[in-house]
Chains A and B, each alone.
Chain A
Amino acid sequence: MKKFLPLIIFAILCFVPFVGLSTYVMHILILVLMWSVIGMAWNVLGGYTGQVSFGHAAFFGFGAYTGGILYQHLGISAWWGLPACVVILTALSLVIGYICLRLRGAYFALATLALGEVCRVAAENLVEFTQGNMGIMLRERTWVDKTWYFYVILIIAASTYMLIKLVMESKLGYYFVAIREDQDAAESLGINTTFYKTISLCLSGVLTGVAGAFYMNYMGYIDPATVFPLSEVSIAVVMVVMVGGAATFWGPIVGALIMVFLAEVIRSLPHIGAAHQTIFGIILILIIMFLPNGVVGDFGKLIKPFVGRRTSS
């Protein structure tokens, strides 16, 4: 049963557009799937390989701008951003990896934090290339209806899930976890840690970029503040994974579900909606205190009170 769970969920999601949900709910579901992809991508580097990044907005934004710039300057469909960003993001990840991956722990985190900000400022100022703060707008949208966007991101999410599952059960996956657990021991066991950390970063960067390219096509408008922000992308993805459960297959997906819905609910509350960032912060602190392994990682702990009650009655 457990083996078929991903298939069953995928099948159910395939039928969702036929239920006749409102455009708003479809929009939320698309966001959940998109955040699952970014979360799963971050999880490869931060969760499994143990290299915590606070700069994934850089990869997300690069992906989005790849599509945007292709449209703006070459006049071709922004959908070409999806394949193109694989190449661009691999190149970017190699450069970033070469510079940042020689740093360890907090220093790596700080370097990536700077990276995200550098990208935002650069995008704001390279006006001829990126249109600066005016942003890039797609003048014609591919589909008016959300159904096809939903299927596109569903396929991206499912492929991401399968790819990561495949990687984590192979030699690569074992090496990633070994690097997280003890880099020096890994090195002495014949693992070229710099090389495998770079692979992990490339994988993570490319998948995040694909999500970014999808975002460009879906939203139809990007500017530096929406695709390169620190709190709304870089920190948000860390929260998605932490809330769901780092280094678990389902963690980022569950995390995305919780965070996107929570964000919508809190923002729509009267009076306190404006303070949603504060409330997010408080939730994160509570999760770290009581569920340090996230909802998926500490699932046993979470259902314990309920299971206990059932057996005693």
Chain B
Amino acid sequence: MTLIEVKNVSKQFGGLAALTDVSFVLNKGEILGLIGPNGAGKTTMFNIVNGFYPPTKGDVFLKGQRVSHLKPHTLCKLGVARTFQVVRPLQRMTTLDNVITSAFIRTKSKSHAEEIAIEILKFTGLYDDRMVISKGLPLGKRKRLEIARALATHPEILLLDESFAGLNPTEINDQIQIVKKIRTEKEITILIIEHHMKVIMSISDRIVVLNYGQKIAEGTPAEIGHNPIVIEAYLGEEHSA
């Protein structure tokens, strides 16, 4: 079943074409990787799917409903949650309060929100840090807090924007386990942007490659790994021969 369909989306910032005619679909239950060199338009794509920007041309559909004109908070209610590339915790709140805040989207009562938050914190392994002011968490945990916060909104689709960048090898392995668990235990569909090739190759079911705002390839990790156009985009022409 198709959850999100991105149809011929273009986005221009003044004269700069950040995305040109990009289309792809996100199916229920899969992990779809979105990769591409710096400046390829990955985060712009996220911002469009998430509702921060309206597309200049084209549309985004969520379960067949056109959502490209909706605001982020409405999309969040419809089940699309995201994390940010540059972590943005609610700095002067504790880890627990951060997660409680996002749990309030599905409940009015504080005790229920707290219940949800504690469950999520245990799930992401942040329970022991629940009383820490989030500004004081190390980067690895702040990245995980981003995921925890998104999970607390009970999403159907999770958009992860470089949740692995800047982590050490141990943290990366922990994070991979969490992402896999999110799919298997919570049955959440994931769209993920990642630069770390080992990670993206090992967790994605399919990969979409962007370069200069255009989709240049789509396929399974194995196909993408052998695609000459992709190798060219990443390594330059001479290496592809």
The interface of chain A, by Cβ under 8 A from chain B, is 169-171, 174-175, 177-178, 181-182, 184-193
On whether the beta carbons of B104 and A182 are closer than 8 Å, the reply is no
Q: Which residues of B contact A189 (CB under 8 A)?
A: 73, 76, 81, 101-102, 105, 149-150, 153
Nearest CB of chain B from residue A131's CB, rounded to whole Å: 45
Q: Judging by beta carbons under 8 Å apart, are B93 and A181 in contact?
A: yes
Tell which of B73, B88, B150 touches A193, judged by Cβ atoms closer than 8 Å: B73
* Chain B residues, CB < 8 A from A192: 71, 73-74
B100-143 residues with Cβ-Cβ distance < 8 A to A are: 100-102, 104-105, 108, 110, 113
Number of A-B contacts defined by CB within 8 Å: 74
The answer to whether residues A182 and B90 also contact, given A169-B110, A174-B104, A189-B101 and a CB cut-off of 8 A, is yes
Beyond A185-B84, A185-B88, whether A190 also contacts B76 by CB under 8 A is yes
B240 at interface (Cβ–Cβ under 8 A)?
A: no
Nearest B residue (CB) for A187: B72
Contact with A along B178-191 (1 / 0, CB 8 A): 00000000000000
Q: Does B92 contact A (CB under 8 A)?
A: yes
State the main secondary structure of chain A at its contact with B.
helix
Q: Find the B residue at minimum CB distance from A195.
A: B73
In the complex, which range does the number of interface residues on chain B fall in?
20 to 34
Is B42 interfacial (CB-CB < 8 Å)? no
A171 engages B108 (CB within 8 Å): yes
Once A187-B72, A188-B82 are accepted as A-B contacts, the answer to whether A181 and B92 lie under 8 Å apart by CB is yes
Question: Which residue on A lies nearest to B152, using beta carbons?
Answer: A189
Q: Is the CB of A181 within 8 A of B110?
A: no
**In the bound complex, CA of A182 to CA of B72 (Å):** 14
- Residues on B with C-beta less than 8 A from A178 are 90, 93, 101
CB nearest to A172 among chain B residues: B104
Minimum distance in angstroms from B28 CB to a CB of chain A: 21
B50 within 8 A of A: yes
User: Using Cβ atoms and an 8 Å threshold, which residues of chain A touch B88?
Assistant: 182, 184-185
- Chain B nearest CB from A1 CB (Å) reads 22
Within 8 A of A (CB), among B30-88: 50, 52, 71-74, 76-77, 81-82, 84, 88
- Which A residues are in CB contact (< 8 Å) with B92? 177, 181
* Minimum-distance CB pairs A-B, first 7: A190-B76, A181-B90, A190-B105, A185-B88, A189-B102, A174-B101, A171-B104
Q: Indicate if the CB atoms of A190 and B110 lie closer than 8 Å.
A: no
B73, B77, B97, B153: most-surrounded residue (chain A CB, <10 A): B73
**Given A185-B84, A188-B50, A189-B153, also A177-B73 (CB < 8 A):** no
Q: Which of B77, B89, B93, B108 sits near A190, CB closer than 8 Å?
A: B77
